[in-house]
Amino acid sequence: MEDNIILKDKPLNGGQTQFIIFVKTIEVAKRLSEMLKIKAYNCESLIGTRAMSQTDQIIILDKFREKKIQGIVATSVAEEGIDIPDCDLVILYNYIGNEISYKQAMGRARKLKAKILVLGKPTDYDRETINKARIKYMEQAVEMIRSENVEEKIRNIIEEMVAKQELKMLTASQAETKPEGAANHRLICKCGHFEIDCSVLRCIDNTNYAALDVKLWDKIEEKPLTKKANTKSDLVMQAEWNHQGCQKKLGTIFLYNGVRLLYLSQKSFSYDTKDEDRPLPVQQWKKLPFQIPSLTIKELLEHQKLLMANGKN
């Protein structure tokens, strides 16, 4: 840094130039302040509280305010959060931020005809030019908002958001609605010799699916559990069940509110329509092309009566 640079110029308000130099790192702040001292500039480095106590920060700022020191070499700590006195000159030394940091740096040069210098690569200058333009747009936007009825504008935005959300919910609800058609479909074991009419399928707690057909019990075999029983207050796992023919595991027998039900394993079944011969795998119960109704208490009681009448309970 040359001896005859602007730091030795006389400001319009008389006295010596008060300056702040913004740098990127603590190390640069310390070394640059030492170099300036060698050049006879009375200055101090100002860095964050992780490397400098708050007391030391206050002492340096008081010296600057009382003109006991000419300048401060600072990291971003001087941009925000602490009260920096007015100065005649702000230098951004290889220090490029966004439009907010540029605006804050400009706020330090509040004296009459104070100057801001950008020292760095050409790209640094271009970036700060962009920041300056963005600040102008921000200020114009603020003035535009101030000149309008802000409350009405906000109310209109909220009403528009609510309308969009309601439309989204309505669309989702319509997408989930499926035509009635369970009676036209069947579940098929992968062996091809065991099938379940989809009209007897029922959903329990939105996660489990059971078949309410007493006749199925004559075609299955109960097997001991191969994993630890999963129990809830109203749901107790009792056994596994297989097709008598292929011996493939097709699901689990649960005791639901005291009634035995055949729960189905989706990965064990395919489905098709009764007049087609191209079964598709059941990937998710909720994605079947028909609606599976929830199990009602009335249906549960009727199913229990049928189980008891057929000796399956």
Nearest one of 266, 292, 293 to 281, comparing CA atoms: 266
Please give the tally of structural domains in the chain: 2
What integer pLDDT is reported at residue 298 of this predicted model?
87
Last residue of some domain: 134, 153, 172?
134
What integer pLDDT is reported at residue 10 of this predicted model?
46
CB hemisphere CA count around 206 (13 angstroms): 0
Judge if 295 and 188 occupy the same domain. Answer: yes
pLDDT tens, per residue, the chain with 313 residues: 444 444 554 444 446 778 888 888 889 889 999 999 888 888 999 887 777 888 888 899 889 888 899 999 988 765 555 566 667 888 888 766 655 566 666 655 555 466 778 777 777 667 767 767 776 767 776 776 666 666 677 777 777 777 777 776 666 554 454 545 677 888 888 888 889 998 999 998 888 899 999 999 999 999 998 877 666 667 788 899 999 888 889 999 998 888 899 999 888 888 887 666 678 888 888 888 888 888 888 888 899 899 888 887 7
CATH number for the domain spanning 104: value is: 3.40.50.300
- Domain, as residue range, for 240: 182-310
What integer pLDDT is reported at residue 3 of this predicted model?
43
Judge if 32 and 119 occupy the same domain. Answer: yes
Is residue 284 within 8 Å of 266, Cβ to Cβ?
Answer: yes
Residue with tokens 């599976």: 292
Which residue intervals of the chain are DSSP H helices? Answer: 26-38, 54-65, 99-106, 122-147, 150-176, 297-309
Is residue 306 within 8 Å of 261, Cβ to Cβ?
Answer: no
What integer pLDDT is reported at residue 54 of this predicted model?
84
User: How many other C-beta atoms lie within 10 A of the C-beta of residue 11?
Assistant: 19
pTM of the complete model beyond 0.75: no
Assess if residue 156 is contained within a domain. Answer: no
Judge if 129 and 186 occupy the same domain. Answer: no
CATH number for the domain spanning 286: value is: 2.170.150.30
Judge if 108 and 190 occupy the same domain. Answer: no
Residue with tokens 């199913």: 303
Q: Which two tokens stand for residue 109?
A: 């040069």
Assess if residue 155 is contained within a domain. Answer: no
What integer pLDDT is reported at residue 89 of this predicted model?
85
